[in-house]
Amino acid sequence: MYTYFWDEKRVYLVLEFAQGGELYKLLKKKTRFDETTAAVFMFQMADALNYCHTKNVIHRDIKPENLLIGDEGQLKIADFGWSVHAPTKKRLTMCGTLDYLPPEMVAGEEHRELVDVWSLGVLCYEFLVGTPPFEHDDTSHTYSAIRNVWFFRTLLFCGHYGH
């Protein structure tokens, strides 16, 4: 972040230019990522979220549309519109994007920074499969799937394991 400013309605963050655009567009173009690319992106996201959480910032809307790609391929978290500085950690506001919401938020329970960790798991699945694990045409089914942790797809790996 270079700087910030505000007016009576909003806070504005001035960030570096992310030449690679949205990760969402790259994911849709490729359909899914190979395991090495997914692992690199997951490491970058875990590191970035760890930094946010050590500063008591909960993002609450981690998804491919809110991740930008820098000129060297590094991911950058964007759109802090739902984020909160939460020194006490616990929140009740239901916010974010349905496919990435954790069970506790869907159930209307208190949540803390672990909501971002849940979203990170959803991202990992989406990176490897190409769609979020709980996505369904009917939003009530999506809510139920998240609440009960039901997957609508089977995760298939391309690589060989155990060697």
- Catalytic pick among 7, 47, 61, 99: 61
101/120 Cα distance (integer angstroms): 11
Q: Which long-range contacts (CB under 8 A, 24 or more apart) does 106-109 make?
A: 106/143, 106/146, 106/147, 107/147
Was 78 annotated as part of a binding site? Answer: no
Q: How many residues does the chain have?
A: 163
Gyration radius of the chain over CA positions: 16
Residues 6+ positions from 63 with CB-CB distance below 8 Å? 24, 96, 97, 99, 100, 119, 123
Was 80 annotated as part of a binding site? Answer: no
Is residue 61 flagged as an active site residue?
yes
Was 50 annotated as part of a binding site? Answer: no
Was 18 annotated as part of a binding site? Answer: yes
Positions annotated as catalytic residues are 61
Enumerate the known binding-site residues: 16-18, 65-66, 79
Enumerate the known binding-site residues for ATP: 16-18, 65-66, 79
